[in-house]
A and B are shown apart, each in its own frame.
Chain A
Amino acid sequence: MFEISSKILDYFGISSDFSVIVVVLVFFVYGLFALTFASLFAGITSWYERRIAGRMQSRIGPNRVGYQGFWQWLADGLKCWFKEDIIPKDTDSVLFRIAPYFVFTGVLSTFVVIPFSPTIVGSDMNVGLVYIIAITALVVAGILMAGWASNSKWTLLGGIRSAAQMISYEIPVALSLIVVIIPAGTLSLQKIIQMQGGAPYNWFIFHNPGTFAAFFIYFTSALAEGNRTPFDLPEAESELVAGYNTEYSGMRFLFFLFAEWMNLYVIGAIATAVFLGGWRIPGIAYEVQAASLWLQFVGFIIFLIKALLLVNVIIWLRWTLPRLRIDQLMIMCYKYLIPLSVIMILLSVFFTVIYYSLPFLSLAVRIVLFILSLIVAGYFGYRVYFNIKYFPDKTYLRWMI
């Protein structure tokens, strides 16, 4: 945003006395944009997730409000807004009131460094990734606060589970990001995207076997950090009623859900930026894209599509998998994900060093990994085809049976 503000200052010829005001104004507008984007995303995802869940469970899902029930999220929001804001007796009322905002702010703050296109980004910090890992700690604080302040045993258990889980899973998140930082040599998200190419085999996920595995490690641990199934223990509805938000109602309850769904985009966007080439368009150099407004817009769409694909996968996982137990969650973190990501760091170092002396190997490894993932995707398609054929039921694809 600093670049855009300086451009505006130059364009209008505003003297440096007022430049602070303009910069603040630009940042304010961008903040509103990010907030609107995140809120719209959270709302629409809440509807979309229910529709997807319905299809997977061979039912219809919400379809009453508007076309295909699209405005359901707005109706739900209004309903929660008009509900009575109940603050139970004997709660720590100050903490109880502010806890949802901590969670909300913690997730929304990541939008400062998440880029939309080469120039549209809150702030291209040179420590962007560290900032993301640090700021999400606010979410832990908020959830623990909510669990403690509600003064109920179920919420307390949920809050404690959440604290243990999120603090543990920050380690594999950070370690798996380091795997990419080694070849990239920078912590800035924009620079990481710049270093990747537009074509899939130029992305960092296919850079070497280490980054390939690191993508999955990051994805898994980000799910756990965002309290999504199969790691949704803090709000495990069959065990802890509703976990840390049992006592909440109305708009405060909605803020937790807002944060959860916004977090989907955050997970998808970080994975896209770090592993999947971000807003790069195949065959177009970075300088060309940064100069043209249209190409920036195309980049924005590409970024969004990649992030939304990952969001789809997260939703899809949620409606497929059961939930882990708390000790298994910890075992998975400390016995599997952390050692594996350390190994991946070593692999990444090894390959990065080798690529300096043998540049042709770089392309070979990339293409091999890319073809490998295509084969896996093809096999997956075959399994889906097999499932439809094996259990004939009413289907949209009649020719398959």
Chain B
Amino acid sequence: MTLEERLNLVKRENEILLNMGPQHPSTHGVIRFIVRADGEIMVEALPVVGYLHRGIEKLAEQTPYTGFIPYTDRVDYLAAMFANHAYVMGVEKLLGIEVPKRAEYLRVIACELNRIASHLIALGSMAMDIGAFTPFLHGIRERELINDITEMLCGARLTYNYMRVGGVSKDIDDRIIKKINDFLDRFLPGFIDEFNRLITNNEILVKRCVNIATVSADEAINFGLVGPNLRASGVKWDLRKNMPYSVYPELKFEVPVGEGFRGEVGDSYDRFVVRVKEMEESARILKQAVSQLPEGEILAKVPKRIKPPKGEVYSAVESARGELGYYIISDGTENPYRVKIRTGSFSAMKAIHIKSQGCFIADLVVLIASMDIVAPEIDR
């Protein structure tokens, strides 16, 4: 076997061998696709991952438990709050710490704000990949308001490092609560409806997305898709409902699933619409969480030097990109023995490879965008 064969770079008859990426406008980061195309129609698009591998899992073995929290921000920069949450929950499970109620509520508020921000980017960039530039900037505008809130809440706009083992780092105050309420007032009926009128119901977008890269429920489970991608295929699986954590059992919300809104169940358009609906649900959760916010401590009593007992734990949260799991093995020292991160984007890459077969080059762009992959999350 030659190296070309191993790297799938052999040119076959009647095929163009296109190298899409690592730098390409619509690969959403540093990902490379080896595209075999017969004219405009693709034979396959083989993802090549690893360009953003930074060895974060290995770094965890050299870092104290608290010191690893900033690293989790860098796994998925668009939804850093969830990575914080999952990791911190794992360490708390190892230590057996009870987190104060107020801290749990603050975590939920931060996470749901982050989910809206992440979905806005996902939807906007999908619209932009299809050619509409305005929805992207309208999404960015709303996300900027969320960034302002998170900046007041935790001091940073992107790499939050908000959560701590046993609670959160900063308390919320009335100014922030007022800002969140202001944002929700404009977001829930106003922005979502306008966004739908502008792009979701647009016939060109519908035609571009409907019946493109349909992933059936069985396939989605076999690919290991998680989160909105899985739910778009009609599988009602949401960790917030199915494996409740934090204070989600106390909050009322629906889990939107793909119903084949304009075409088959599980096509790219379903993935788009499911994200829009999830933003609405997140806004509803936020409204409840802000009104129910209890008084109390924000940080549990935690020893200064965190030394969990020997053992291992898996903790997962429903991130904006689906199940985000941290598997932590402790050997009783200050540093974890091993940390494994399970992310949604990585499994989506396989789905892209299989589903890209036989569609147009323009559809590959839609497919990548609809799966909402984030390059650093694939490679860690």
Quick check: do A and B touch in the complex, using CB within 8 A?
A: yes
The residues of A with any CB-CB pair to B shorter than 8 Å are 53, 56-59, 153-154, 157, 160-161, 229-230, 232-233, 236-241, 319-328, 387, 390-393
Nearest B residue (CB) for A390: B190
Set of chain A residues within 8 Å of B360, measured between Cβ atoms: 325-327
Nearest A residue (CB) for B25: A238
Does A238 lie within 8 Å of B202, measured CB to CB? no
Does A393 lie within 8 Å of B186, measured CB to CB? yes
Does B132 lie within 8 Å of A320, measured CB to CB? yes
Does A322 lie within 8 Å of B186, measured CB to CB? no
Tell me if B3 counts as interface (CB < 8 A to partner A).
Answer: no
Supposing A57-B133, A157-B361 touch, asked if A392 and B24 sit within 8 A by C-beta, the answer is no
User: Chain B interface residue count: which class?
Assistant: 35 or more
> Could you pull out 19 A-B pairs where Cβ atoms are within 8 angstroms?
A57-B134, A157-B40, A161-B40, A236-B131, A238-B131, A239-B26, A239-B365, A241-B25, A319-B133, A320-B198, A321-B131, A321-B132, A321-B202, A323-B130, A323-B131, A323-B204, A324-B208, A325-B208, A391-B194
Does B194 lie within 8 Å of A325, measured CB to CB? no
Set of chain B residues within 8 Å of A57, measured between Cβ atoms: 133-134, 137-138, 141
The residues of B with any CB-CB pair to A shorter than 8 Å are 16, 18, 24-26, 39-40, 127-134, 137-138, 141, 186, 189-191, 193-194, 197-199, 202, 204-205, 207-208, 360-363, 365
Q: Quick one: which of B24, B26, B137, B186 contacts A59, CB cutoff 8 A?
A: B137
Set of chain A residues within 8 Å of B128, measured between Cβ atoms: 238
Chain A: minimal CB distance from B221 (Å): 29
Nearest B residue (CB) for A154: B18
Q: Quick one: which of A232, A322, A326, A390 contacts B127, CB cutoff 8 A?
A: A322
Q: What is the bound-complex CA distance between A66 and B206, given in angstroms? A: 42
Set of chain A residues within 8 Å of B193, measured between Cβ atoms: 390-391
Nearest A residue (CB) for B27: A238
Q: What is the bound-complex CA distance between A327 and B361, given in angstroms? A: 11
Q: Quick one: which of B25, B137, B190, B198 contacts A237, CB cutoff 8 A?
A: B25
Q: Quick one: which of A233, A319, A321 contacts B204, CB cutoff 8 A?
A: A321
Does A387 lie within 8 Å of B194, measured CB to CB? yes
Q: What is the bound-complex CA distance between A389 and B208, given in angstroms? A: 31
Q: What is the bound-complex CA distance between A324 and B205, given in angstroms? A: 8
Nearest B residue (CB) for A164: B40
Does B190 lie within 8 Å of A322, measured CB to CB? no
Nearest A residue (CB) for B19: A153
Set of chain A residues within 8 Å of B133, measured between Cβ atoms: 53, 57, 319
Chain A: minimal CB distance from B362 (Å): 5
Does A324 lie within 8 Å of B16, measured CB to CB? no
Does A392 lie within 8 Å of B186, measured CB to CB? yes
Interface of B is mostly: helix
Set of chain B residues within 8 Å of A325, measured between Cβ atoms: 207-208, 360, 362-363
Nearest B residue (CB) for A393: B186
Q: What is the bound-complex CA distance between A221 and B202, given in angstroms? A: 19
Does A322 lie within 8 Å of B363, measured CB to CB? no
Chain B: minimal CB distance from A267 (Å): 19
Q: What is the bound-complex CA distance between A322 and B199, given in angstroms? A: 8
Does A322 lie within 8 Å of B40, measured CB to CB? no
Q: What is the bound-complex CA distance between A239 and B127, given in angstroms? A: 13
Chain B: minimal CB distance from A142 (Å): 22
Does A392 lie within 8 Å of B138, measured CB to CB? no
Chain B: minimal CB distance from A354 (Å): 35
A-B complex: 10 closest residue pairs judged by Cβ atoms: A323-B131, A57-B137, A391-B190, A322-B132, A322-B130, A238-B26, A322-B131, A238-B129, A325-B362, A322-B204
Set of chain A residues within 8 Å of B138, measured between Cβ atoms: 57-58
Q: What is the bound-complex CA distance between A40 and B363, given in angstroms? A: 38
Set of chain B residues within 8 Å of A326, measured between Cβ atoms: 40, 360, 362
Set of chain A residues within 8 Å of B40, measured between Cβ atoms: 157, 161, 326-327
Does B362 lie within 8 Å of A236, measured CB to CB? yes
Contacts A324-B204, A325-B363 aside, 20 further interface pairs with beta carbons under 8 A come to A53-B134, A57-B138, A58-B141, A153-B16, A157-B361, A230-B131, A233-B362, A237-B25, A239-B26, A239-B362, A239-B365, A241-B24, A320-B198, A322-B127, A322-B208, A324-B207, A325-B207, A387-B197, A390-B190, A391-B194
Does B25 lie within 8 Å of A391, measured CB to CB? no
Q: What is the bound-complex CA distance between A315 and B361, given in angstroms? A: 26
Chain B: minimal CB distance from A227 (Å): 12
Nearest B residue (CB) for A326: B40
Nearest B residue (CB) for A327: B360
Nearest B residue (CB) for A233: B362
Q: What is the bound-complex CA distance between A354 and B16, given in angstroms? A: 57
Set of chain A residues within 8 Å of B131, measured between Cβ atoms: 229-230, 232, 236, 238, 321-323
Chain B: minimal CB distance from A307 (Å): 24
Nearest A residue (CB) for B136: A57
Nearest A residue (CB) for B194: A391
Set of chain B residues within 8 Å of A230, measured between Cβ atoms: 131, 204
Nearest A residue (CB) for B198: A320
Most B C-beta atoms less than 10 A away, residue of A53, A161, A239: A239
Q: Quick one: which of A233, A327, A391 contacts B186, CB cutoff 8 A?
A: A391
Q: What is the bound-complex CA distance between A324 and B190, given in angstroms? A: 28
Q: What is the bound-complex CA distance between A233 and B138, given in angstroms? A: 24
Set of chain A residues within 8 Å of B134, measured between Cβ atoms: 53, 56-57, 319-320
Supposing A157-B40, A238-B131, A239-B361 touch, asked if A322 and B16 sit within 8 A by C-beta, the answer is no
Q: What is the bound-complex CA distance between A333 and B361, given in angstroms? A: 20
Set of chain B residues within 8 Å of A322, measured between Cβ atoms: 127, 130-132, 199, 202, 204-205, 208
Q: What is the bound-complex CA distance between A339 and B247, given in angstroms? A: 60
Nearest B residue (CB) for A242: B25
Q: What is the bound-complex CA distance between A238 and B197, given in angstroms? A: 23
Chain A: minimal CB distance from B276 (Å): 15
Most A C-beta atoms less than 10 A away, residue of B40, B199, B362: B362
Q: What is the bound-complex CA distance between A393 and B205, given in angstroms? A: 26
Nearest B residue (CB) for A54: B137
Set of chain A residues within 8 Å of B198, measured between Cβ atoms: 320
Set of chain A residues within 8 Å of B141, measured between Cβ atoms: 57-58
